[in-house]
Structure 1
Amino acid sequence: MGALLMGGASARADGPSPRVAGAGADVTVNANEGLGTIPSTAYGLNSAVWDAQMNAPEVQDLLKAAGVGMLRYPGGSYGDIYHWQTNTAPGGYVAPGTDFDAFMGTVRKIGAQPILIANYGSGTPQEAADWVRYANVTKGYGAKYWEVGNELYGNGHYGSGWEQDDHPDTSPTAYADNVLQYVSAMKAVDPTVKVGAVLTMPGNWPDGVMAAGESADWNHAVIPLIAGKADFVIVHWYPSSPDAAHMLGTPSQLTGELAQLHDELDAAGAGDTPIALTEVNGGTAVDTQPNALFGADAYFTALQSGVFTVDWWDTHNGAQQISTAPDGATDYGDWGVLSSAGCVGSVCEPPLNTPFPPYYAIKMLSQLGRPGDSMVGSGSTDATVAVHAVHRANGDLSVLLINKDPSAARTVTLHYTGFTPDLSAPVTVSTYRDGAAAIDTATSAYSADRTLPPYSLTTVTLHAKAGTSSALSAPGAPKVTAAGDTTATVSWTPSTGGAVTRYEVYRQVGTTSELLADSTGTSATVHNLTPGTTFTWNVLARDAAGRLSAPSAPVTVRTGTPADSTCRVAYRTTAGWGNGFNAEVTVTNTGPAQITGWTLAFDFPGAGESVSGFWNAQVSQTGRQVVATPVDWNATLAAGGGNSASFGFTGANDGAAPPPTVFTLNGTVCATT
């Protein structure tokens, strides 16, 4: 497994726990692989002004018990019709007792933070600035996070319109320009507020879509204009699934989709821009156990990918359509976490404010980790069992195990790297079972093996063995200070809490950690890297006893392609429609000799990308690798860039569809433009 053993001086893995007869999946937790710290805003939820129960004391108590740390207001698309001064939403319904001050009463009672949607669609920058003044100057609420509008890409510009937008120009460029006016007006009142701009989630409509006469889609038009000026960006995610089984597999798509979004921001010089996922819901069997399993998995997958808040849609929503979930439970088509007590025909929801399973999914997150705790690497050998892990601030380790099988239990064997459990200490186990009306919590003796009930969420919390943890703090603020095509330099701030013998830089590889370099100072240069590749690294400090500190925050390292290569490739996405795209590839021979007959090869970065058609070349695909060879009339590439060969293809994508980064022409790695 090739990772670190606490207390040892060399890079190797902890020995696996003994296997027992009949054990199923292996689950590995690598506490040396840091994925970031849980923010105070992590576990979020949407509130809506049409919901008469949103500020009811019973609801407040339930949200506080679930550990909700962020509440979004005034409710999705209502954000673009809602006027805070009058508590009205022309064309929509506003329930009594849902005004801004009443909402803030709930926020304060449950100990959360608000994230507020400034009205873009039918409002003005001045109206937003006045709201900031009222909230933070007049009332002293300290409302930090503000979105400029909701899903403005749904304003009809791409042919589908559900979002109010009264601006004469509904293009992404106009939206970005207007966002800057909102930022200026709102920060003039309170410079400390954080103002966010709306983007589309890569791999989801309208990603890649361009209106007539445009050369860039929503993200590629908006990002360059708001880069460094908006404080964060906002995306929503509703995976399209034909059934619950497919839905339960979709959280894995988030990793690639959010990585692609980070890359798009980085290309505009804004790679450190925070991302908020302010709406998410599985959208299938929404009131039942599979959506709870999806929710817990999606929350942590997004948080581990650097999102600072995940806000479930939503608190109450109302019964819509009756169906039956795979476990036989009744689904009311109500996307809320609490019952509205409505009926469809003769079928009625449970009593008002009865929690649906997704509520317990959010509550289970607090059993796994709280703000300030560190998310760490984990993995499972069984696709039916998802796993997430948290190294708590008090030294404990918590592991969330999600059994996605509706009918069969799963036995897992837990293995640990960078953490030594106290085998004599009791283990705390919290379980939310299919059909349960509460989370069960109990203690048990240590065992490496755990049996997971069907369709369940289980959190196991273990204590560390005394003397196995270093007193050193994690190295701070790692950043890339230089990067080429095969080298990169990373620097960090020193650890505290004791004497450091050396710092070690590790690359995350699955659930193992690959030692790349060590240093007695606060920087290190790593050589022999793969060109055109993105890596995730951690820095750890080793103390005089040979023990490793906690890992630093993850740092993303991107290498370029060789500028002095004898070939050059330009790759351009020319059209998209969410689950498919067209691309154009141009190949140029910049070397001293003519090439007659060529082979261009590249790998798709996204696991869900594939070629479905092509022109002006012969294109084939094996796994992720794509190989293109010429047709008769473009087989010759003149020396010194005398001519170029261009071809195109149609791609399909399920999830992320990032562009390829490394191209080889007859085996030579090319420069990319």
Structure 2
Amino acid sequence: MSSDDPTSAEQPTPRGRTHRRGRTRRRIVAGAVATLLAGAGAGALALSADAAPTVSVTVDAGTSLGTVPSTAVGLNTAVYDAYMNDARAASLMKAAGVRQLRFPGGSVPDAYHWKTHTVTGGSWAAPGTDFDHFMATAKKVGAQPIITANYGSGTAREAADWVKYANVDKHYGVTYWEIGNEVSGNGHYGSKWEVDTHADRSPREYAKNVIAYAKAMKAVDPKVRIGAVLNTPGSWPDGVKASGDDADWNNTVLSIAGKSIDFAIIHWYPGGSSTADLLNSPARIAGVTSAVRSLINKYAGSHAASVKIAVTETSSADSVAQTSQAAALFAPDTYMNWLEQGAVGVDWWDLHNGPGKPDTVQGQTDYQDGGVLSVGGCSGGTCEPARETPFPTYWGIRSLTALAHPGDTMVKASSGDPSIAVHAVRSGDGGLNVMLINKNPRNAAHLSLSYTGYTPAAGAVRTVSYTKGGTALAKATRGTAAAQTLPPYSITTLQLKPSSAAARTGSPSPAPTPTTTAAAPVASAPGTIGTRAQATAVGAPPAGPDRSHTAGGLATTGLSSTVTYGTLGGLLAVAAGWALMLRRRRGSRGSHSR
């Protein structure tokens, strides 16, 4: 079985997360291009899987995995992004349902001084990207901010002053505040990509300072919520004890500060040496969440139930695909897996980045750009499409608007084939939306769907799809609630209405008489828990191009240097020669924080 087939048993190999910006990666070139859907709205699909077995999908609409938070779909922004406040970018973010924006971006917060809009250590903050300009964009988007306070070169007083300015002076109402970014990358474990001017860089010192920050910031505004940085379970340096430590980072930080924080911060870059690795990785999220929740329960006492988990950075940046279709499929699957496991928000890395070394992934040009929108840059003679052109990853995230809105109820759903991911949501108007992701790059998938706790209306159903090469979400009426055919490498969301009988009773479905047997709960996948972009191997410093943000311009500031593939069907690339001032934020570190 091909390593690019999602059903392959091949496991991900730990790799260094090259800096969220440019990085050289090994790419897998597909031998054959997947058969594509010829017409978005046509009823008949010209697909290549006529002989493929039917996959069973079950949805248990009578269950609840929690409600969709208002901060569910987030995105990172950065002070070194000169295009952060483009009107077109704001419009596209709003249309994609982005409701949380993280600022000031990646590792640069540990060097950023908000009052002067300057960055310690010679890095760069673009003009017009200060806090007030950011907040103006957040307002246009309709997004809540999540702010990373300067831990590395700042003080609790500086952070408290920021809270006062934001919430008392300006009445911005900023609720979520992180204390630093990836602080364990401060050199305590040998590898250094974060600015940290403290004489003591141990987890004990960080935990003590988290308490001091929380006390000072809440004295200004008791409503703020404070987050502490943890290492991703199973990823370096999780489990590592440096000289003088009694325990690893997570156990130390939570044992001291667990009762003083409101949320734990996780960054998740699963990597993968093939598209199959990438697309299989969201199944590991349940295990990561379980490990973090166990630590919170251990140390936060009666306060544990109120401590949330926030995923403030995630993307496919350490994998073979960043702007091609595999990354588009990975994005909504990742968001929904984290949200179903109780995450309060998920912030993708990132709005803009810059072109890296272009590659071909499953027949598509992948610009190796960590951004969701193009900056129109060129690399190695290959130019991205025009600035603010959405990459496939953007459309993958925007697909979530067809599935869920804040306040909707996530329900259990399962698939009989790992190459088909499924997520389902009960909407406030009595509807049931089912997202189906076909991770097979070559073959269509025939599905048989059944429901417990919900009786869908008969007849053709409304679908919202994103297929390979698309430049928009395609709406159509096709198939039924019980039978669908999915194009290869596609995202299809069914928007179901209740049967007329259920609608008349005012109930979405007769729960006591299920249509079929209940869907099995989604099980957490065994095996490796998320690999970490911060190091190529456990205990070893990351190798490769630095991805950090303290550095200067977009492309090398910690964002990858690539921009997404061309817009639909052949949008002309921008003239070559567009240059981005990229300054690597981290030096020797190949992985990290976007």
For the criterion TM > 0.5, the same-fold answer is yes
Report the alpha carbon displacement of residue 89 of structure 1 after superposing the two structures with TM.
1.1
Query: Which residue of the partner structure matches residue 14 of structure 2?
Result: none
Aligned to 1:307: 343
Please give the alpha-carbon distance, in whole angstroms, between the structure 2 residues aligned to 1:186 and 1:309.
Answer: 21
Contact 1:204/1:578 (<8 A) preserved? no
Aligned to 1:451: 485
Of 80, 90, 97 in structure 2, the residue corresponding to residue 60 of structure 1 is 90
Higher strand share: 1
Tell me whether 1:125 sits opposite 2:161 in the alignment.
Answer: no
Q: Deviations over 1:488-530 (max 9, x none)?
A: xxxxxxxxxxxxxxx99xxxx99348xxxxxxxxxxxxxxxxx
1-structure distance, mates of 2:135, 2:449: 43
**Matched residue type, 2:443:** A
Superposed, which structure 2 residues align to 1:187-202 within 5 Å?
Answer: 187-202=218-233
**Range 89-98 or range 74-83, more displaced:** 89-98
The amino acid across from 1:108 in the alignment is K
Show the counterpart of 1:511.
Answer: 519
Q: Does 1:271 align with 2:271?
A: no
**1:282 counterpart (284, 307, 316):** 316
Deviations 1:22-79 (A, max 9, x none): 6521111011221010001000000001111111100010001101000000001011
Partners of 2:98 and 2:452 in 1: how far apart? 31
For the pair shown, the structure with the greater C-alpha radius of gyration is 1
Residue 85 (1) aligns with residue 119 (2): no
Supply the distance in 2 between the matched residues of 1:472 and 1:403 (Cα, whole angstroms).
31
Q: Whose RCO is larger (CA < 8 A, sep 6+)?
A: 2
Instruction: Identify unmatched segments of 5+ residues in structure 2.
Output: 1-49, 525-534, 540-594
**Residue 74 of structure 1 is aligned with which of 98, 104, 111?**
104
Number of aligned residues: 467
249-258 or 267-276, which deviates more: 267-276
Q: Which residue of 2 aligns with 1:142?
A: 173
Query: Is the partner of 1:203 in helix, strand or coil?
Result: coil
Check whether the contact 1:23–1:413 (CA below 8 A) recurs between aligned residues.
Answer: no
Q: Which position in structure 2 is the counterpart of 1:46?
A: 76
Q: Which amino acid aligns with 2:342?
A: G
Cα contact 1:207–1:578 (8 A) shared by 2? no
Cα distance in 1 for partners of 2:506, 2:209 equals 50
Shift of 1:209: 0.7
Any conservation in 2 of the 1:400–1:458 contact (CA below 8 Å)? yes
Please give the secondary structure, in 1, of the residue aligned with 2:396.
helix
Mapped to 2, the partners of 1:181 and 1:77 lie a distance apart of 21
Confirm whether residue 248 of structure 1 aligns to residue 279 of structure 2: yes
Name which of structure 1's ranges 267-276 and 97-106 shifts more when overlaid on structure 2: 267-276
Q: Which amino acid aligns with 2:78?
A: A
Whether the 8 Å contact between 2:59 and 2:518 is mirrored in structure 1 is no
Q: Report the alpha carbon displacement of residue 244 of structure 1 after superposing the two structures with TM.
A: 1.4
- Give % identity: 49
What SS does the aligned partner of 2:70 have?
A: coil
| Partner residue in 1 for 2:401 | 366
1:178 aligns to 2:219 (yes or no): no
State which of 108, 122, 136 in structure 1 corresponds to 2:139: 108
Match of 1:375 in 2: 410
Q: CA deviation at 1:195?
A: 1.0
Which amino acid in structure 2 is aligned with residue 38 of structure 1? Answer: V
Residue 329 of structure 2 corresponds to which residue in structure 1?
A: 293
Q: So what's the TM-score if we normalise by structure 2?
A: 0.76
Could you give the per-residue CA deviations for residues 452-476 of structure 1, whole angstroms, max 9, x where no partner exists?
1111111011001244378699xxx
Does the 8 A contact of 2:296 with 2:304 survive in 1?
Answer: yes
In structure 1, distance between residues paired with 2:276 and 2:51: 29
Structure 2 residue 193 is the aligned partner of structure 1 residue 157: no
Paired amino acid for 1:139: K
Aligned-residue offset at 1:215: 2.5
Q: TM-score, normalised by structure 1?
A: 0.67
Q: What is the distance in 2 between the residues matched to 1:43 and 1:23? A: 34
Counterpart-to-counterpart distance in 1, 2:87 and 2:536: 42
Work out whether 1:328 is the aligned partner of 2:336: no
Q: Which segments of 5 or more consecutive residues in structure 1 lack a partner in the other structure?
A: 1-19, 474-502, 514-533, 536-576, 582-673
User: What one-letter code is carried by the residue in structure 2 that aligns with 1:31?
Assistant: A
Contact 2:328 2:392 in 1 (8 A): yes
Distance 1:243 1:88 in 2: 39
Is 1:430–2:460 an aligned residue pair? no
Residues 656-667 of structure 1: pairs in structure 2 closer than 5 A: none
The letter for the 1-side match of 2:448 is T
> Aligned letter for 1:323?
D
How far the C-alpha of 1:228 sits from its partner, in A, is 2.3
Question: After the TM superposition, which residues 577-592 of structure 1 pair with which residues of structure 2 at under 5 Å, given as runs?
Answer: none
1:215 maps to 2:238: no
How far the C-alpha of 1:345 sits from its partner, in A, is: 2.2
Match of 1:491 in 2: none
Equivalent AA in structure 2 for residue 169 of structure 1 = D
Report the Cα distance in structure 2 between the residues aligned to 1:316 and 1:210, rounded to whole angstroms: 36
Return the letter of the residue paired with 1:36. Answer: G
